[in-house]
Amino acid sequence: MAPDDRPLHALTLIDMARSLRARRATALQLVEACLDRIESREGEIHAVATRCVERALQEATVMTRRHKAGEWLSLLDGLPVLHKDVFLTRGVRSTANSRVLADWVPNRDAALVRSFSACGTVMLGKTVCHEFAFGAPAPDDLFPPARNPWDPLRMPGSSSSGSGAALAAGYGALATGTDTGGSVRHPAAACGLVGLKPTRGLFSTAGVIALAPSLDTVGWLTRSVADQQLVWAAMTGSPSASEQAAWLDRASPGPGDLEGVRIGVPRDWLDPDSELSAMHDPQIRAAFEQARDLLRSCGVHWVPVDLPPITEIIRAAHQIICTEAAQQVGRWLYSGGPLGQGLRRRLERSGAEDLEAYHRALLDADHWRSLLDRLFSEARIDLLASPGREHFPESIESLMASGSGPRTVCNRLYSLTGHPALTLPMGLASNGLPMAVQFAAPRHAEGALLDRASLFERAGLALPPDAPLPWR
């Protein structure tokens, strides 16, 4: 148990790291606690496609001995992680939730998996996703659809759904995902977590089963912004081995100064009759207004900005994703491969290739990237903000019946432009489900984004202290 009587599986990632360094727990005990939690909840949640029980226990045993000798690889050394099932994992099947790859065991790791392994993480297993990260849950999928631990009758997000469900269920405190149109940020928002999509291209997508290579980005989910800062420090090579313990001790300072921070908000949002405004559930809209008031009281300046029309963003993202998905996955459709109904329907609905429209969408994305770059530099905007999801996750039943539920689009712009974006909780709705806010930053400014988000979190942009957290 942790010092505050939280079970080990319910600790945040940074508290897990501190417990290891203080010898209140061992890597083996952490891994055992998370594996026990998976065993107890997986029959209901369906978040894990493949478990790595023996491998994880063996690795954790070796790490426990190494830690006793005072040897540490990074801030993440000895901490458990779950990888989305589109990441290749050497010796562990990688299925992308498709019968096409049901028995495929790669002989190499994806680049991000190698990076996490080099930091000393222990892989607990592979998380369920939508088929090839594009389909929608269907009765004939290789694995049952993951369920939202806040309400198991609902879905937990989009294609990285298993990663979101796993963290919310208490299977661990760190999971990877891929984000092509929001698929790290969507599950984070739906499951009361923090999801980071880094600057596109900053981390290699080598060894990731591709969906839309022009937009595919790797990222990860945690339970707090402090956890994200921990991962970021480890993945970017800081601090040094001799400074890691000190970094953990000072990782949660007191409230900082937000005076003068300039956050842009789409001008369309300020018009209650606009199409963008009408897309949002009234409770989510009200929560976002309260978040603005909260940060304004901390000294934040909110600046109306002109962003591309939401209909144009939707069009461009849809065109790029569908065109490239057809190139990556469509061959299985036309060759009679055993694709699930959800993916088959999505591919068929994508329509015939329109290369002229596709190239126009790519040009639009380039233009909008320059537009955002100018906002951040010339207009001196520090961050851009929006809700993290426009509506609440639909029920599994309705999703299975329709083949594709309503797609949130607030994440699409930063998928197109490649700017880093972060979602974090902004309270609970009357239905008991979490709501989320999203912040985007200049390219390669993840450190500043996380620092400011940490201040937002400590100012009150978080789940309520008395929230019935499903991971506990």
Active-site residue list? 84, 159, 183
Which one-letter DSSP state was computed for residue 92?
B
Measured CA to CA, the distance from residue 89 to residue 294 in angstroms comes to: 43
Q: 288 with 437: CB under 8 angstroms?
A: yes
Q: 84 with 207: CB under 8 angstroms?
A: no
Using left for φ > 0, alpha for ψ between -120 and 50, and beta otherwise, residue 133 falls in: left
* Nearest by Cα to 399 from 135, 95, 85: 135
* Nearest by Cα to 29 from 97, 82, 78: 78
Count of all residues that appear for the chain in the document: 472
Measured CA to CA, the distance from residue 363 to residue 373 in angstroms comes to: 15
Measured CA to CA, the distance from residue 358 to residue 374 in angstroms comes to: 25
Which token pair is 260? Answer: 């003068």
Which token pair is 268? Answer: 């369309």
Which token pair is 293? Answer: 């008031």
Which token pair is 365? Answer: 């994305």
Q: What secondary structure does DSSP assign to 115-142, as a single string?
A: HHHHTT-EEEEEE--SGGGT----TTSS
Measured CA to CA, the distance from residue 468 to residue 362 in angstroms comes to: 43
Give the distance, in angstroms, between the CA of residue 115 and the centroid of all CA atoms in the same chain. Answer: 17
Which token pair is 100? Answer: 């096409």
